[in-house]
Structure 1
Amino acid sequence: MGDGAGPATVAGASRQHEAARPPAPPEGLALLPRADPSHPVPWRTIVATITCVVVVLLGYLLLRQLGRVIAWLVVAAFVAVVLAPAVDVVQRRLRMRRAPATAVVFLLGLGLVGGMMYVFIRPIVDQVDTFVASLPELVDDAREGRGAIGRFIERYDLAEYVEDNEARVQASLSSAGTPALGVVRSLFNGIFALLTILVLAFLMLLRGPELCRGALGLISLRNRERVRLVAADAARAVSGYMFGNLLISLIAGVATYGFLRIVGVPYAEVIALFVAFCDLIPLIGATLGAIPTIGLSFLHSTPAGIAAIIFYIVYQQFENHVLQVTIMSRTVDVNPLAVLVSVLAGVELFGFLGALLAIPAAGIIQVIVRDLYDERVGRLKGEPTVGAAERPVSERSKERRRAASGWRPEVP
């Protein structure tokens, strides 16, 4: 017998070698590089990682410091997007330049807002003047125990309480100036923020086309048309939603005013304006406006309160099933869950303004995601983004490219 190994021996050794070999990694992980413990991580990678972490941290701190300015820019951008169609119409119909058309739209908008504020504030000022004029008489009634104030003081022994706690009352009155200063400071800050937002929105409207052309110029020629169409789609969604929401709020205010005038509840114009403002808030705005209105109607009379409950139940159904469907049919259809999440996030971040801007922001995100998805798969949308006759970006881009190249369909 020779010294060479037989076929059985070679096969057994091969099987032992295969068994000793580590299992192959999955197919998806086969291309990943294996870590070699004998070679440490390069110092350049460590420095780059630390630099990225530091830059992200500094960016976060910078955003926190500039949070108010960023909020102003966001609000101004939404105002500019809402007013842009009106500026375009004035510029086209009246054949005006961009600057005069923007000024005309802004003056009309400021006049409308100023008129609503006058309607809301005038009754309050009248009541304050009446209270100041009757203050001496009210003080005499309180001292003599006459009138509603005098009876209230006698019923709860407030005069005895004031005499027993005179030092504490004087200290409270002397420190009442501090909250007043805070209110005045907040008022001036609000006026400054409002003026800043208006100036920013005016400049965005004035230089908006130039800024858009400059931003599109930074994008590659291959993707420029697609980005322009997606941006225009999102802008139409925002402006359409804003105008639809304003129209529904106006209808709510007018309906409330007519009802309150019929039942005889005082200060109908103030309450109606309050309901219109509340109706701007998505989901819960109409309910927030209805609750105090029903309470004031009950203070006027019990039949008026019952009539107010019936009125708001009927109007709520009319708004949800008729107005929302009719007016909002040409705006972006946002998922209800996305609406709720966006409203909660907007209120948490920016308060009342966040609630107003939450749904348009969610609409922009949904439009961008949907159009980018349709561009990738090249199919028609399951539901329209803006309007019933809209087609996906991919189809419109194909038609434009075919028209530019002179392509014509073959006729059999």
Structure 2
Amino acid sequence: MISAGAGFPEVSAGKPRRMSNADTRVTARRTLIVIGLVLATVFALAFVYATRRVLVWAVVAAFFAVALKPLVDRLQRLWVRRRALATLLVFLAAFVVVAVLATVILAPLLNELGRFAERAPDLLRDARAGRGPLGQLLERFGVRRYVSEHSEQLRTFGTRLRQPAVGVLRGVVETVAGLVTVIVLAYLMVLEAPRITGRVLAAAGDGQRERLRRVGREVSRTVTGYLTGNLVISVICGALTFVVLALTGVPFAAVIALLVAVADLIPLVGATLGAVIAAGAGFLHSPTAGVVVLVFFVVYQQVENHLLQPLILARAVRLNPLTVLVSVLLAAELAGLLGALLAIPAAGIVQTLLREYGPARLRPDPPAGPADPRRRPAGPAHQG
């Protein structure tokens, strides 16, 4: 019979094994790493939230910089050798185009506003008396009776509207500052693009250099294709609006159609804003014209949202139409106006990255191109 103490270690049953000093240090190190990662994530999210306005400006500037960079590269390659001069000329040309469009739109509008201001007292007098087109319209919808019954409440509401004038002025100043910041950032991004690209390619090494060049070309093509497709859709909207307004006899049909085309460039709210402008002009001309314009925009918005945008933008960005529609809806729900603006190019960029770096089973099919004659078809060999 062997005793318990004959050369065997005595082990107490039911007692846990004590952790060694090495195990304690490993556990403490892992705990500190987890705490550090959590704190770093919290600080990063707080930083993004605190600087969200500047980050939005930077993202929008990068968006326009990627779109204008091919023009600057082509101008520098063909005509102007200095990068700074080529960038300045492209931005000046873009500014001239925007200024010409603004002049074409604003000059007739200011003229009409002046004429409206001269006729405003007479129109207001006729509206109060129920005379004229506006007075009859207000009488038909019961607006005059509502105003007379709630005149005190409307006067109080008008007084409250005058109070936040400082906030409106601050918003205008911030908008102008953001616009200037976006232009300056986009200019500097385009100007410094060759240096930034060269440093990134040098850091990547020979193995990844050609792949990064290919990804950069695809990203640039995606953004440029999105802008081109969006412009095509706006031109279609403006042309159809001009035809409808001209057929219904609404005055200044060309100016209103140009306003609608410019407003249609804005995602989500642009088409609705253009519809309000055109329908308002139609109702001021005649109730029949207003109804016709309103029906046209209801039908056209459905066609644009579910047919034109998926098809044209899918062809320009080389995305599946379903992907285009789902990307816009999800991004608009998550990030609002900015998300809708960047949804389609972001989806195209994700597709490019998946094609280059993703797993083989998740990579989308490459765009169809000419077949390689050196490549033999799969399948059994032809028996001669």
Per-residue CA distance 1:45-101 (angstroms, 9 max, x = gap): 221221111111101100111111111111111101111121122222323421111
- 1:63-78 paired onto structure 2 within 5 Å: 63-78=48-63
Question: Compared with structure 1, are the counterparts of its residues 203 and 57 closer, same or farther at alpha carbon in structure 2 (3 Å cutoff)?
Answer: same
Once structures 1 and 2 are overlaid, which stretch shifts more, 62-71 or 233-242?
233-242
Question: Compared with structure 1, are the counterparts of its residues 37 and 342 closer, same or farther at alpha carbon in structure 2 (3 Å cutoff)?
Answer: farther
| Structure 1 residue 198, shift from structure 2 partner | 0.6
Measure the CA separation in 2 of the matches of 1:209 and 1:112.
Answer: 26
- 1:293-372 paired onto structure 2 within 5 Å: 293=278, 297=282, 300=286, 302=288, 305-306=291-292, 309=295, 329=315, 331-334=317-320, 336=322, 338-348=323-333, 350-372=335-357
Matching residue of 2:176: 191
2:227 corresponds to which letter in structure 1?
A: M
Aligned partners of 2:228 and 2:316 also within 8 Å: no
Question: Compared with structure 1, are the counterparts of its residues 352 and 279 closer, same or farther at alpha carbon in structure 2 (3 Å cutoff)?
Answer: same
Matching residue of 2:245: 260
Measure the CA separation in 1 of the matches of 2:36 and 2:193.
Answer: 36
**1:134 match: secondary structure:** helix
| Structure 1 residue 191, shift from structure 2 partner | 1.0
Matching residue of 2:10: none
Question: Compared with structure 1, are the counterparts of its residues 106 and 68 closer, same or farther at alpha carbon in structure 2 (3 Å cutoff)?
Answer: same
Once structures 1 and 2 are overlaid, which stretch shifts more, 295-304 or 259-268?
295-304
- 1:240-255 paired onto structure 2 within 5 Å: 240-255=225-240
2:62 corresponds to which letter in structure 1?
A: A
The normalised TM-score by structure 2 is: 0.73
Matching residue of 1:406: none
1:332 corresponds to which letter in structure 2?
A: R
Question: Compared with structure 1, are the counterparts of its residues 106 and 390 closer, same or farther at alpha carbon in structure 2 (3 Å cutoff)?
Answer: farther
Residue 138 of structure 2 corresponds to residue 156 of structure 1:
no
Once structures 1 and 2 are overlaid, which stretch shifts more, 301-310 or 82-91?
301-310
Measure the CA separation in 2 of the matches of 1:286 and 1:173.
Answer: 29
1:382 is aligned, of 361, 365, 373, to: 365
Aligned partners of 2:263 and 2:274 also within 8 Å: yes
Aligned partners of 1:98 and 1:206 also within 8 Å: yes
- 1:28-39 paired onto structure 2 within 5 Å: 38=19, 39=23
Residue 123 of structure 2 corresponds to residue 134 of structure 1:
no
Aligned partners of 1:342 and 1:358 also within 8 Å: yes
Aligned partners of 2:222 and 2:349 also within 8 Å: yes
Question: Compared with structure 1, are the counterparts of its residues 93 and 319 closer, same or farther at alpha carbon in structure 2 (3 Å cutoff)?
Answer: farther
| Structure 1 residue 293, shift from structure 2 partner | 4.2
Aligned partners of 2:72 and 2:90 also within 8 Å: yes
**1:218 match: secondary structure:** helix
Aligned partners of 2:250 and 2:289 also within 8 Å: no
Residue 31 of structure 2 corresponds to residue 42 of structure 1:
no
| Structure 1 residue 131, shift from structure 2 partner | 3.7
2:317 corresponds to which letter in structure 1?
A: T
The normalised TM-score by structure 1 is: 0.69
Measure the CA separation in 2 of the matches of 1:284 and 1:192.
Answer: 23
Give the total of aligned pairs. 348
Once structures 1 and 2 are overlaid, which stretch shifts more, 267-276 or 153-162?
153-162
Measure the CA separation in 2 of the matches of 1:136 and 1:161.
Answer: 22
Aligned partners of 1:334 and 1:366 also within 8 Å: no
2:315 corresponds to which letter in structure 1?
A: S
1:88 is aligned, of 69, 73, 86, to: 73
- 1:164-183 paired onto structure 2 within 5 Å: 165=152, 172-183=157-168
| Structure 1 residue 214, shift from structure 2 partner | 1.4
Measure the CA separation in 2 of the matches of 1:369 and 1:251.
Answer: 33
1:212 is aligned, of 197, 216, 229, to: 197
Measure the CA separation in 2 of the matches of 1:87 and 1:313.
Answer: 40
Aligned partners of 1:244 and 1:327 also within 8 Å: yes
Question: Compared with structure 1, are the counterparts of its residues 389 and 313 closer, same or farther at alpha carbon in structure 2 (3 Å cutoff)?
Answer: farther
Measure the CA separation in 2 of the matches of 1:316 and 1:128.
Answer: 32
1:101 corresponds to which letter in structure 2?
A: A
Residue 87 of structure 2 corresponds to residue 107 of structure 1:
no
Measure the CA separation in 1 of the matches of 2:331 and 2:163.
Answer: 31
Measure the CA separation in 2 of the matches of 1:140 and 1:311.
Answer: 32
Let me know the Cα RMSD of the aligned residues.
4.2
Aligned partners of 1:237 and 1:331 also within 8 Å: yes
Q: Tell me, which stretches of 5 or more residues in structure 2 are unaligned?
A: 1-16, 376-384
Measure the CA separation in 1 of the matches of 2:364 and 2:79.
Answer: 37
